Amino acid sequence: MRIRTSLAIATAAGAVALGALAAPAAQADEASAGSKAFSYVNGVHAHAKAAAGGQAKSGVRSGVTTVDGDVTIDKVTVNGNQDIVAGTSAKKTVNVYVTATDPEGISDAYAMLWHGTSFDEEHVDGVIIPEQQEADCDNWSATSATCKITLTVDPSWDLYDSSLAGKWNVYAGALANDDDVMDNDTYKNVWIKRAAQITSMNAAPEPVKKGKTITATANLSRASWSYLKYYGYGSQSAQLQFAKAGSSTYTTVKTVKTSSTGALKATATASTSGTWRFYFPKNSTTSAATSAGDYVAVN
């Protein structure tokens, strides 16, 4: 059975505290990130309080893992367990699935992403909260449900500085039908990475005589969230790869490093016709990238 539980609380206090959940999932700078994170948490806690008839649940506190009752969070999946990759303009939709269990069943779940050294207003410097006012929950048994929370990652707003690239934390919470509540400010980690791209791929000469040297060139760059432009990514290892004509399987011929401006250049011996490309493996802050292929006929 599908249920949709509104986070709009009928009590005045709850409605005021919960108002932050309807706000755009963004922050203009580091100074406001912590306050937005805690506005979201306070809204979640106001919801739990209102669901309990206006009585504050003893275990509900900001900034810590809390449990009141026998509700459990069993699993949290963010973006299909894949890295979140952001460029300079396109918004990225990220689904968070929270699976929770309680003997009386689950009524709601919550999630947001935050960046910082610890979960307090002073040390949270990045936050991405849902824009929706409702969680979308599937009750797949009388006691368990999986709820979907949708986040929008906007590199022109949420990711205001390139220093935010790397490991983020996942806040997750669940509310049971009997008003039991659990939240965990760091249930797991997720990586949000700067998009990389390899452009201007060219392998020459073409055609080329068998046994002669070909030279492949390209440019590796990555997104700057600070300036919303792509800049050359210097001193990075990238692989020159080759696939024989008629095959889609690439093998690495050699590994080279980019120049200080991100330029790539590699030479290889032409032995058979096929397609050449460059490949950059991902790292802790930057996504992987693959150039377009350039076919070279060997005579």
pLDDT 10s digits, 227-259: 999 999 999 999 999 999 999 999 999 999 999
- The answer to whether 136 and 147 have CB atoms below 8 angstroms apart is yes
Q: Residues with Cβ < 8 Å from 94, sequence gap 6 or more?
A: 78, 79, 84, 113, 128, 150, 151, 152, 153
Write out the E strands in the chain.
2-6, 66-68, 72-78, 84-86, 92-101, 106-116, 124-128, 134-139, 144-153, 166-176, 181-194, 196-204, 213-224, 229-232, 237-244, 251-257, 263-269, 274-280, 289-290, 294-296
Q: How would you classify the pairing of strands 181-194 and 196-204?
A: unpaired
Is residue 1 pLDDT above 50, yes or no? no
Per-residue model confidence (pLDDT) at position 66: 62
Per-residue model confidence (pLDDT) at position 41: 84
Confidence bin at 20 (pLDDT 50/70/90): very low
At 110-165, the pLDDT tens digits run 999 999 999 988 899 999 999 877 789 999 999 999 999 999 999 999 999 999 99
Helix (H, G, I), strand (E, B) or coil at 273: coil
Taking alpha carbons only, the member of 254, 194, 263, 215 closest to residue 235 is 263
Per-residue model confidence (pLDDT) at position 60: 44
Q: How would you classify the pairing of strands 166-176 and 181-194?
A: antiparallel
DSSP symbol at 6: E
Domains of the chain: 2-193 (2.70.50), 196-296 (2.60.40.730)
Taking alpha carbons only, the member of 99, 87, 41 closest to residue 65 is 41
Q: What pTM did the predictor assign?
A: 0.85
Is residue 270 pLDDT above 50, yes or no? yes
- The answer to whether 124 and 192 have CB atoms below 8 angstroms apart is no
* Lowest mean pLDDT, pick from 23-32, 73-82, 280-289: 23-32
Confidence bin at 47 (pLDDT 50/70/90): confident
53 or 129: which leads in pLDDT? 129
At 64-99, the pLDDT tens digits run 456 678 899 999 999 999 999 999 999 999 999 999
Q: What is the mean pLDDT of the chain?
A: 86
Per-residue model confidence (pLDDT) at position 30: 61
